[in-house]
Amino acid sequence: MKRSIALWCMAVVFSACEKDYLPRPMGYNRIDLPEHSFATLEGQYPYTFEYSTHSQVESDSFNLQEKNWINLHYPGLGAKVHLTYKGIDGDRQKLRSILQDSFSLTAKHQVKAYSIEEAVTRTSKGYTGVIAELSGEVPTQFQFFVTDSTDHFLRGALYFNTAVKNDSLAPVIAYIKEDMMHLVNSLEFKK
């Protein structure tokens, strides 16, 4: 009896070992995205807009001297939208310099970007904006700036705090891009 059990166990062990092993394909994380909903920005900023209620407004800790720089932090998605504001005060030379800096910041990603698509837009309040979409393994996939060309300039850039490939983040990027476009279209500079 013991001998037949031992033979049966050995047969099971040897028949279970195959050399034709195929690894399972890698899976993708399931990302559940909430419905879009918006709130109006409160505070003593020279601008106001509607932002996603799924994000948190935070002071920018990079440059503490700039009180009008803020971040929209999406804690559930591991993303931040960095918003930087500059007053122009009617100075055309200052506007040119700020515009040049903004285009330079986008162009720095050309090393890793497959493409950079820029589009000029006009907001419902009559402001001029430039939207930049970057493809490839770049740290920021979506950027914009909006200006009234005389007094105000607001720039935004989307960043993720993760090493995940951008193709895996595509649904989240599209979701936040929609939020950012709503921000751009609801932006109003204060007098």
pTM, two decimals, is 0.81
Backbone angles phi, psi at 60, to 5 degrees: -75, 125
Residue 8 has what pLDDT?
A: 77
Backbone angles phi, psi at 84, to 5 degrees: -120, 135
* 174 vs 9, residue with greater confidence: 174
Q: Where are the beta strands (DSSP E) in 44-184?
A: 47-48, 50-52, 56-59, 70-74, 79-87, 113-122, 128-136, 142-147, 152-160
Name the H helices within the chain. Answer: 2-16, 92-107, 170-186
What pLDDT, in 10s, does the model give residues 72-91? 999 988 899 999 999 999 99
Distance of alpha carbon 171 from alpha carbon 168, whole angstroms: 8
Distance of alpha carbon 154 from alpha carbon 68, whole angstroms: 10
**% of the chain with per-residue pLDDT over 90:** 58
What pLDDT, in 10s, does the model give residues 130-166? 999 988 888 888 999 999 999 999 999 999 887 657 6
